[in-house]
Structures are given as C-alpha cells and as structure tokens.
Amino acid sequence: MVIEEYYNLLGIVQSTSRKREQVQARAAMMVALKKFKTCSAVGRLFGMDHATVVHHCKNHAGNMATWDGYHEKYDVAEAMCAKNITHRSVQAKLDSIRNEIQRLQEVEKIMMSKVKEQLKSSENE
C-alpha cells in the first residue's frame, strides 16, 4: 500500500507516536490522501478518527509555511498518492472494460447462434 511505501521511502517506522517526525509524516500523508478519499476513509487507514484528518487538512497551509521538514514530506506523499492511486484507478477501469468486452462477446455468441437457428428454420420452410 502507498502508506507503507511512503514510510519506507522516508526511512521511518510508522507509529502513532507524537514525535515531530511521526506527526509530520502522518499529517502530510493524510492531507495527500484526502484528495482521493473521505476523511473517514483516511482516518481508518491510520487507525484514527476522521477529526484528526480534518485537523491536519485545516492546518496544512500553516504547516507548509512554518513546519521544518513538513513541506518535503508532503511533496513525497502527494507524488506517491497521485502515482499509485491514479495507477490503481486506471487499472480498475481497464479491468471493467475487459469485463464488458467479455460480456459483449458472450452476447455476440448468443446472437449469432439465434441468427443461425433462424436461417436454418427459414431454409427448411
């Protein structure tokens, strides 16, 4: 998942610690994920309440301007979310299209079978 990759890239172990490095990393990823998911969904990914996500989103601009190290963590989180979530979205669409193609091929077989039956029936008359 993108969160695990993110923490690995930062070189830190994900935890619920209140140490600055952990809070920054968590806040940055929560804000980045919020562009793609609801606050409740993001909170669940971290085992936290949606209000925590709302808090981090509300303070994002101030964090970007004043919190040393936050901007870099957010840039990494945003890039990873955009890449991974967009890729998964495209993959899901491709899967859906493949399923629709398969369904239409089945419909085509049924229709061709019915046409052949009707042709045989009209030839016998």
pLDDT at 19: 92
pLDDT at 96: 85
Q: How far apart are the C-alpha atoms of 91 and 83, rounded to whole Å?
A: 12
- pTM confidence score: 0.67
The per-residue pLDDT for range 17-74, each reduced to its tens digit, is 899 999 999 999 999 999 888 999 999 999 999 999 999 999 999 999 999 999 999 9
Q: Where are the alpha helices (DSSP H) in 1-125?
A: 2-10, 20-34, 39-46, 50-58, 60-66, 70-124
pLDDT at 43: 94
Q: What are the extents of the domains in the chain?
A: 2-95
pLDDT at 86: 67
- 14 pLDDT more than 80: yes
The per-residue pLDDT for range 71-112, each reduced to its tens digit, is 999 999 999 988 877 666 667 778 889 899 999 999 999 999
- 117 pLDDT more than 80: yes
84 Cβ contact partners less than 8 Å away, ≥ 6 residues apart: 2, 5
- 124 pLDDT more than 70: yes
Best CA proximity match to 57, nearest among 30, 19, 21, 23: 30
* Helix 20-34 vs helix 2-10: crossing angle, to nearest 10: 140
pLDDT at 109: 94
pLDDT at 59: 95
Q: What is the DSSP letter of 15?
A: -
